[in-house]
Structure 1
Amino acid sequence: MQEWAQIFLKSISLFIVVWAATRLIGKRNLSQINPFNFISLIIIAVAASLMSLNLIPFLYGFIVLVIWVAFPIALDYLSIKSKTMHQLINGKEAVLIKHGKVMEENLLSVRMTGEDLLAQLRSKNAFNMADVEFAVMETNGSISSYLKSDKKPVTSHDLGRKVAPQAEPQTIVLDGNLLEEPLASLGLNPQWLNIELDKIGVALENVFLAQVDSSGDLYLDLFDDAVQLPQSKVKELLYATLEKSQADFSTFALQTVDEEAKAMYSKNSQKLQDLLNKLQPYLLH
């Protein structure tokens, strides 16, 4: 077999081996991987490259691959089973800001300058140092920050208001292609989508992306950005319909002279009002 063919076949084989090795070592992205695993991946890549080019004997290269794949997996397993081993392998978190004060000694120990700290905080939307109560450098090098209580965004819980639970939106059209599985998971079908698109005068062929949230609201992004789309108001329309029905019952109760009918209209009006009070946090917020 010619040398180029050997290199071609060996490179394909090593590609599969390296791919499997990286999957075994872990699925973390590059920003979360620890330094040792990062070095292991580099050595695996270098060894595979040398082997594919016949620069080192295949057996020697295979031994290198086995060692640099097996050891990171073994160390990860030990770090899961033992907190001491976890700290020995991955290191410990470093507190950089405590009670609003910068811990200069810890900052020096992780080789960070004040400018580095400010840049990391800005990436967490903390532009003012005075707003930060606590910050720590994680073992993967990322910074986690906690704002002071009076600087944190106000939530519905803080206001004592109920809000509807929200599930993740389902993408039903992507890159112009209809995705029937997510649509079916919502209990919908392509006919429903076509009806909704007809209401706003849009063809499916012009839809680049479409999502449906847990409330049934349809979000569209079109290939033609010049087209202005109306905002979906499913929840607001439902609330308005119930509100109109409640107002109609109240009106009927005032207009009728039949006492039995008046009592029935008043009772149903009160039931709808109670229902509106319960649904308001879910439909209007």
Structure 2
Amino acid sequence: MPTWLEITLRTFMAVAVLFIITRILGKRQVSQLSLFEYITGISIGNLAAYLSLDTDSEWYIGIVALVVWVSISYGIEVLQLKSKRARDFLDGTSTILMRNGKILEDNLREERITSDELLEMLRKKNVFNVAQVDFAILDTSGELNVLLKKEYQPLTPSDINLPVPPEKYNMAVIMDGKIMEDSLKKVGLNRDWLNSKLRQLGVSMDKIYFAQVDSQNKLYIDPYDDSLKRH
């Protein structure tokens, strides 16, 4: 078999295996990966490259290595789901960096975070005045979560005993020009309602690329033609 053809087949195989692995291990953002998951991701990527390009070795050797890595990773994920102690050991625990408005210097040193880095992390949370912070905790993902002092928190309807109706989440009802029948049913609407709304707006169905219904049954549309008015 020509080398170029073998590499092509190996690459397709590597992509297929990586897709299956991703489906098995689930969805995680990079910022949500634990240290072990991060190492596993790098190792699996390297093994996939090896499977794709190392024509001197048998292809099944790379598959075996991938299966072993995935089995270990999956086993550890199952263990973490069942054991809090295992989660704490593998992922670590959250660290409190500020409590009652006071910076905990020892915890900063433990996490090797400087004062400048703490201020930068606070600014990313739109907090520019340290005096406004009541509590700040560094999660295992590396993200800082901040609780402002009561007097600096945004006012909510419950603070002034204002009743609010139950909120429904927005639902896409047209996507890529196709009506999402299931989405319409979930919000208690139907195709007739949608056609009626579009007639009121003076737009035909075939002109719409995307449409979304909000909690008040207000329809937002995005036509294929960008020169047309959005509603």
TM-score by length of 1: 0.72
- Helix, strand or coil for the counterpart of 1:92? coil
**Can you list the C-alpha shifts for 1:58-102, whole angstroms capped at 9, x where unaligned?**
354334223321222222222222222211111111111111111
| Alignment gaps of 5+ in structure 1 | 230-285
- Helix, strand or coil for the counterpart of 2:32? coil
**Which residue of structure 1 lines up, in the alignment, with residue 229 of structure 2?**
227
Shift of 1:165: 0.5
Distance 1:102 1:191 in 2: 59
**Can you list the C-alpha shifts for 1:119-145, whole angstroms capped at 9, x where unaligned?**
222222323222211111111111111
CA RMSD between the two structures: 2.3
Q: Is residue 2:19 matched to residue 1:19?
A: yes
**Which residue of structure 1 lines up, in the alignment, with residue 45 of structure 2?**
45
**Which residue of structure 1 lines up, in the alignment, with residue 174 of structure 2?**
173
**Which residue of structure 1 lines up, in the alignment, with residue 4 of structure 2?**
4
Higher relative contact order (CA 8 A, sep 6+): 2
Q: Give the number of aligned pairs.
A: 229
Percent identity of equivalent pairs: 35
| Alignment gaps of 5+ in structure 2 | none
**Which residue of structure 1 lines up, in the alignment, with residue 185 of structure 2?**
184
- Helix, strand or coil for the counterpart of 2:98? strand
**Can you list the C-alpha shifts for 1:132-170, whole angstroms capped at 9, x where unaligned?**
111111111111111111111111111111100011111
Q: In terms of Rg, which structure is larger?
A: 1
One-letter amino acid of the counterpart of residue 19, structure 2: W
One-letter amino acid of the counterpart of residue 91, structure 1: G
One-letter amino acid of the counterpart of residue 17, structure 1: V
Distance 1:101 1:195 in 2: 58
One-letter amino acid of the counterpart of residue 29, structure 1: Q
Distance 1:56 1:140 in 2: 38
The 5-angstrom pairing of residues 206-285 of structure 1 reads 206-222=207-223, 223-224=225-226, 227=229, 229=231
Distance 2:105 2:56 in 1: 49
Distance 1:225 1:156 in 2: 39
- When residues 190 and 62 of structure 1 are mapped into structure 2, their CA distance, relative to the original with a 3 A threshold, is closer
TM-score by length of 2: 0.87
- When residues 187 and 57 of structure 1 are mapped into structure 2, their CA distance, relative to the original with a 3 A threshold, is same
